[in-house]
């Protein structure tokens, strides 16, 4: 199975948490800025409410209590004063219900003004005798400009110091944690690759994280099961193949007896089929025995004339299409003999050719040898089912295993009404 190129786990974790960090930093900076403005507004509101409550208490004792105005706070009975700024009345059309608090930004009224204009903050409520009292605070930037700018700079410096401290601490923590994960992940990957390529039952290393240890445990359990199944398969193939040799030898011995005696013509064809079936069974048995061997050494190599070998194998399998409307097409390049493992090659080619002949009943079979490639293609016009590897015989399974063991490249392409097999010679 092929996987698309992907990034390491520690990189993905780092990118994910860095994104969260930067989002949280932006959110924190915005929240601090909003909190600063909200704090100023709440401070002004509490100041006006406290001024109102203080005067209301004194007024309840003595209705002639005078206002205690200051440079910032002013008191007004019943209605707001007329205040003009550059030809605009600040409180024109201004309405405020009892207990409400409102701020008037003069800059918003003067659209073309670039200077900081005063901000008027108003609070109103009824006194005990029903009179309306307005408390107005005037925040003039001309009076507090430098101090306000210093306060803003201090606030920004505080926010930046908190942000940078948070960034540094979280990045260091992330680097430390991702470094640990990266090391353990690399250790797990290296150990898994080494164990998969050369499995030896031994203690599993401690990868520190429970999930990694569980993955390693699952891998070892899977490799143990695979090793056990492979060992069982090899023992089964070896035992089964050896057991099959006895009946095959008996069949061949009896066939040789029939060859020495005179038999009737109707009996000759069944005997020929029996002889071919015996030869095929012997070939499969030899294949199973060879695949079950523990040794990885290649079989003995021999010089092979491919056109001659292919012609011989085709003639041996033509009995499978007797009585069928099948055309056999051959195209062979004339080349010099090549040195190849003859026995496995004959097993592979015999299986591919036999499968092509066996599963074609009306159509054509094309076998060609070109550019050091052997192509075997069959086309059955009567085939209506979807192509399936399950219906292509045990020979295909054996052929693929032989090619894999010898590092030969075999391509099997299932087409609409047949199969194209391509063997690339080494």
| pLDDT string in tens for the chain (426-residue length) | 444 555 566 667 777 777 877 788 788 777 777 776 677 778 888 888 898 899 999 898 888 889 888 888 899 998 888 888 777 888 887 888 888 888 887 777 765 556 667 788 899 999 988 899 999 988 876 666 566 667 667 777 877 787 788 778 877 877 777 777 777 777 777 877 777 777 667 777 777 778 778 888 888 888 788 777 777 777 776 666 666 677 777 777 877 777 777 777 777 777 777 777 777 677 667 766 767 665 555 667 888 898 888 998 898 888 888 888 899 999 998 888 888 888 788 888 888 888 889 888 899 999 999 888 999 999 988 765 544 444 445 567 778 888 888 888 999 888 888 889 999 877
Cα 118 to its chain centre, rounded Å, is: 60
Residue ranges of the alpha helices (H) in 62-116? Answer: 106-109
Report the C-alpha dihedral over residues 316, 322, 327, 330, rounded to 10 degrees. 10
What per-residue confidence (pLDDT) applies to 102? 85
Number of H helices, E strands in the chain: 8, 13
Element (H, E) at 119: strand 119-126
Distance from C-alpha of 109 to C-alpha of 89, rounded to nearest angstrom: 9
d(CA 153, CA 140): 19
- DSSP symbol at 2: -
Query: Cα 296 from chain centroid?
Result: 36
Segment holding 31, helix H or strand E: helix 9-61
Residue 161 three-state SS: helix
Distance between start and end Cα atoms, the chain: 24
Q: Does an H or E element contain 405, and which?
A: helix 394-406
Q: How far apart, in whole angstroms, are the C-alpha atoms of residue 417 and residue 380?
A: 6
Among candidates 201, 155, 177, 195, which has minimal Cα distance to 35? 155
Q: Is the pTM of this model over 0.85?
A: no
Separation of alpha carbons 145 and 394, rounded Å: 93
pLDDT confidence of residue 89: 83
Can you give the pLDDT at residue 389? Answer: 44
The SS3 of residue 413 is: strand
Residue 136: phi and psi, rounded to 5, are -120, 130
What pLDDT, on a 0 to 100 scale, did the predictor assign at position 425?
79
């Amino acid at each position: 199975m092929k996987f698309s190129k992907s990034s390491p786990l520690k990189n993905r974790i780092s990118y994910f948490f860095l994104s969260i960090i930067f989002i949280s930093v932006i959110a924190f900076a915005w929240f601090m800025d909003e909190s600063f403005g909200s704090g100023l507004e709440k401070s002004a509101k509490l100041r006006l409410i406290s001024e109102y409550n203080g005067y209301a208490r004194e007024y309840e004792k003595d209705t002639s209590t005078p206002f205690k105005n200051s440079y910032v706070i002013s008191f007004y009975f019943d209605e707001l004063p007329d205040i003009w700024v550059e030809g605009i009345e600040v409180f024109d059309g201004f309405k405020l219900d009892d207990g409400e608090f409102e701020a008037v930004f003069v800059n918003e009224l003067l659209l073309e003004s670039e200077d900081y204009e005063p901000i008027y903050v108003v609070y109103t409520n009824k006194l005990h005798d029903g009179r309306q009292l307005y408390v107005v605070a005037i925040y003039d930037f001309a009076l507090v400009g430098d101090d306000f700018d210093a306060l803003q700079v201090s606030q920004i410096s505080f926010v930046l110091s908190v942000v940078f401290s948070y960034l540094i601490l979280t990045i260091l923590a992330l680097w430390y944690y991702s470094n640990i994960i990266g090391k353990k992940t690399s250790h797990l990957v290296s150990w898994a690759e080494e164990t998969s390529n050369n499995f030896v039952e031994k203690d599993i290393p401690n990868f520190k994280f429970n999930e990694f240890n569980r993955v390693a445990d699952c891998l070892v359990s899977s490799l143990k099961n695979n090793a056990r199944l492979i060992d069982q398969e090899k023992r089964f193939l070896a035992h089964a193949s050896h057991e099959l040799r006895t009946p095959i030898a008996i069949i061949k011995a009896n066939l040789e007896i029939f060859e020495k005696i005179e038999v009737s013509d109707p009996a000759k064809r069944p005997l020929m089929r029996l002889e071919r079936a015996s030869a095929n069974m012997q070939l499969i048995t030899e294949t199973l025995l060879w695949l079950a061997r523990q040794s990885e050494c290649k079989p003995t190599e021999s010089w092979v004339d491919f056109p001659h070998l292919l012609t011989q194998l085709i003639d041996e399998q033509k009995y499978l299409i007797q009585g069928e409307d099948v055309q056999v097409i051959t195209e062979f390049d004339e080349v010099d003999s090549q040195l190849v493992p003859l026995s496995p090659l004959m097993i592979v080619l015999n299986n591919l050719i036999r499968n092509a002949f066996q599963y074609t009943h009306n159509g054509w079979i094309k076998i060609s040898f070109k550019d050091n490639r052997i192509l075997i293609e069959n086309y059955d016009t009567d085939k209506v089912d979807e192509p399936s590897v399950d219906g292509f015989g045990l020979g295909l399974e054996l052929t693929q295993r032989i090619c894999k063991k010898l590092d030969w490249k075999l391509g099997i392409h299932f087409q609409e009404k047949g199969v194209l097999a391509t063997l690339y010679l080494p």
